[in-house]
A and B are shown apart, each in its own frame.
Chain A
Amino acid sequence: MNRVPVTITIEPSPIEIFTMMLPKARTHDLNVRELVEETVIYDLERHKAHSLNAAAAFVWRRCDGQTSIAELARLLHAELKLPESEELVRLALDQLARRHLLEDATPTVLPAPALLSRRDALKKLAVAAIALPVIMTITRRKAWGATSVPPSQACPPNTTECIPQNESSRDTVFRLISAKVCCAANEFCSTGGTCVRRAASACLPTGNPCAAGGTPCCSGACPKGGTCA
């Protein structure tokens, strides 16, 4: 009979995970605006906009990866005069995590049974609904979803026609080959007027050193300073 090795690990309970957690706010790929007491955060990765009320914004601001939940609760009480309650902080953290506004925290690691619902929080903590941490989110849609018809596209997909940069006299409005640019970022307009895929090292991005006769800058010829503009 073969023996199957068994490893037993004792994992902390979800509540213990939460207690141990030193939450850290995500800061990358976010556009953040302060509006009086509230904060608007635009997630550039997911194209979602979040509105954080004062309590939620306060918790998010102080999630520096070194402040414990207990400390956050104390700060929340000191600054916003809310009840000193870890459950209130967890309510905020849960919403922040669900919206990917915390580093290394996903809703799955948050202990759902230990969390208070908004209704429970109102009852238990005896705070006004307006004081509870609240985050409102919208997903940014294509703008013409709000209108009747989509406009015709300036850069239709699979475009192959284009106007070379050095050529301007060939076209008139009256018998125009429309002045299209290449749609794909990795394409450039060849002298023949067609979009050609750019080789990976075909040009140097901004800030890179360049030399005359060498690999050109993506913005054009190598400037005198020897750095691509």
Chain B
Amino acid sequence: MQKLDRLGWMAGISVYAYGMRIGIRTNCPAIAERLPEFLPPGWEPGLSPLVDHLYSLRVGGPGASQRSRIYHWLYGGPTRLARTRVIEDVLETLAGDLELYVAMHARNRLFIHAGVVGWRGRAIVLPGRTWSGKSTLVAALLRAGATYYSDDMAVLDGRGLVHAFARPLSLRDYDPQQRSVQVRRCGPEEFGSGVGHAPLPVGLIALTRHDPDGRWRPRILTPAKAVLELMEFVMSADGEPDMILNALQPMVQHARALKGIRGEANETAAALLAAIEEMAEATPVLAA
């Protein structure tokens, strides 16, 4: 870390997000101006020069004399996170690590690895691992008229309400010519939807993963089983069980939890909306 400190840093920002103070320093003032677009949703400028976590972004360049200087380097604390010639890759890594760091250390909020949309005053939460098809299902729900909250993180408060964590959706497209997967970022407006702002009570929890041959025939989970299933997707690093249960208990208490594999996203989205509508008729949502 001391070696990093000696490198000479010309610009930086200090931000405050979910109770964490985060610093990012760089040797390139032009890059510092771009940093805000890679910060977690809901960040605020930090007032203190002291931070809980520090990123160091060393920008290389074509005119560098030493071979190593043609690379861009990113460190999170003393840990090297990226070394690449493509600055966009470094910034994507920074955004991803920042999001993960905030999710794991947030104070007074519980982060769950899940997509979230809003539907008539209730949230549909879609917990799932990376590559399970969360973003695709979120996109299908947005096309069907739902409001966007998040495609990767459900942010819960102590009352079990879900808050927006609205970064652009990351949709993966397979390119058969290149034989590679391209990540495409797009806003909810591309699907004719907008971002929700009000925290919502959870109406439906759908634990699912995509299987091309699958069909959405879910089984209903009891509230306690839903809590156990959700624990698998809780991001908190400190693992305060009290805080986790405080958020999960009210979350599941008035929600229906379903589990199963799904096939086509649009078909599943329609089934999920039908399920939440049915539930809404049975138990009208209380004013928040």
The listed residue with most B CB atoms (<10 A of its CB), out of A51, A137, A144, A148, is A51
Q: Report the minimal beta-carbon distance from A48 to chain B, rounded to whole angstroms.
A: 10
Contact call B52/A147, Cβ cutoff below 8 A:
no
Q: Report the minimal beta-carbon distance from A114 to chain B, rounded to whole angstroms.
A: 29
Contact call A179/B54, Cβ cutoff below 8 A:
yes
Query: Known interface pairs A35-B253, A147-B113, A174-B9. Does A49 touch B100 (Cβ–Cβ under 8 Å)?
Result: no
A39 located at the interface, meaning its Cβ lies under 8 Å from any Cβ of chain B in the complex: yes
In chain A, what residue has the closest Cβ to B23?
A: A173
B285 located at the interface, meaning its Cβ lies under 8 Å from any Cβ of chain A in the complex: no
How far apart are the CA atoms of A35 and B222 in the complex, in Å?
9
Selecting from A74-82, A151-159, A199-207, the interface stretch reads A151-159
Contact call A179/B241, Cβ cutoff below 8 A:
no
Q: Report the minimal beta-carbon distance from B255 to chain A, rounded to whole angstroms.
A: 12
Contact call A173/B25, Cβ cutoff below 8 A:
yes
B36 located at the interface, meaning its Cβ lies under 8 Å from any Cβ of chain A in the complex: no
Query: Inside 8 A of A117's CB, which chain B residues have their CB?
Result: none
A176 located at the interface, meaning its Cβ lies under 8 Å from any Cβ of chain B in the complex: yes
Query: Known interface pairs A31-B242, A143-B234, A143-B235. Does A172 touch B49 (Cβ–Cβ under 8 Å)?
Result: yes
Contact call A146/B113, Cβ cutoff below 8 A:
yes
Q: Report the minimal beta-carbon distance from B18 to chain A, rounded to whole angstroms.
A: 13
Contact call B51/A176, Cβ cutoff below 8 A:
yes
Contact call B130/A147, Cβ cutoff below 8 A:
yes
Contact call B23/A33, Cβ cutoff below 8 A:
no
A185 located at the interface, meaning its Cβ lies under 8 Å from any Cβ of chain B in the complex: no
Query: Inside 8 A of A36's CB, which chain B residues have their CB?
Result: 222-223, 253
Which chain A residues in 169-202 approach chain B with CB under 8 Å?
A: 171-180
B14 located at the interface, meaning its Cβ lies under 8 Å from any Cβ of chain A in the complex: yes
Q: Report the minimal beta-carbon distance from B127 to chain A, rounded to whole angstroms.
A: 9
A93 located at the interface, meaning its Cβ lies under 8 Å from any Cβ of chain B in the complex: no
Query: Inside 8 A of B234's CB, which chain A residues have their CB?
Result: 143
Query: Inside 8 A of A109's CB, which chain B residues have their CB?
Result: none
Is chain A's binding surface mostly helix, strand, loop or mixed? loop
B38 located at the interface, meaning its Cβ lies under 8 Å from any Cβ of chain A in the complex: no
Query: Known interface pairs A38-B223, A154-B101. Does A176 touch B231 (Cβ–Cβ under 8 Å)?
Result: no
How far apart are the CA atoms of A33 and B236 in the complex, in Å?
19
Q: Report the minimal beta-carbon distance from B243 to chain A, rounded to whole angstroms.
A: 10
Query: Inside 8 A of A141's CB, which chain B residues have their CB?
Result: 232
Q: How large is the interface on A (under 10, 10 to 19, 20 to 34, 35 or more residues)?
A: 35 or more
B228 contact from A138, A153, A178, Cβ within 8 A = A138
How far apart are the CA atoms of A163 and B54 in the complex, in Å?
13
A161 located at the interface, meaning its Cβ lies under 8 Å from any Cβ of chain B in the complex: yes
How far apart are the CA atoms of A153 and B51 in the complex, in Å?
13
Contact call B239/A140, Cβ cutoff below 8 A:
yes
Contact call A156/B79, Cβ cutoff below 8 A:
yes
Contact string, B1-44, partner A, CB cutoff 8 A, digits 1/0? 11001001111111000000101110000000000000000000
The listed residue with most A CB atoms (<10 A of its CB), out of B50, B53, B81, is B50
A168 located at the interface, meaning its Cβ lies under 8 Å from any Cβ of chain B in the complex: yes
Contact string, A128-146, partner B, CB cutoff 8 A, digits 1/0? 0000000011101111101
Contact call B9/A140, Cβ cutoff below 8 A:
no
B77 located at the interface, meaning its Cβ lies under 8 Å from any Cβ of chain A in the complex: yes
Q: Report the minimal beta-carbon distance from B281 to chain A, rounded to whole angstroms.
A: 21
Query: Inside 8 A of B55's CB, which chain A residues have their CB?
Result: 152
Which chain A residues in 49-66 approach chain B with CB under 8 Å?
A: 49-53
How far apart are the CA atoms of A154 and B237 in the complex, in Å?
11
Query: Known interface pairs A140-B231, A178-B53. Does A152 touch B25 (Cβ–Cβ under 8 Å)?
Result: no
- Chain B residues engaging chain A, CB cutoff 8 angstroms: 1-2, 5, 8-14, 21, 23-25, 48-55, 75-79, 81, 96-97, 100-101, 103-105, 113, 129-130, 222-225, 227-228, 231-237, 239, 241-242, 245, 249, 252-253
Further pairs besides A35-B253, A51-B225, A172-B49: 17, Cβ < 8 Å: A36-B222, A36-B223, A38-B222, A40-B228, A136-B224, A136-B228, A143-B104, A143-B234, A143-B235, A151-B104, A154-B101, A161-B1, A174-B9, A174-B10, A176-B5, A176-B51, A179-B52
- Chain A residues engaging chain B, CB cutoff 8 angstroms: 31, 33, 35-36, 38-40, 42, 44, 47, 49-53, 136-138, 140-144, 146-154, 156, 161, 163, 168, 171-180
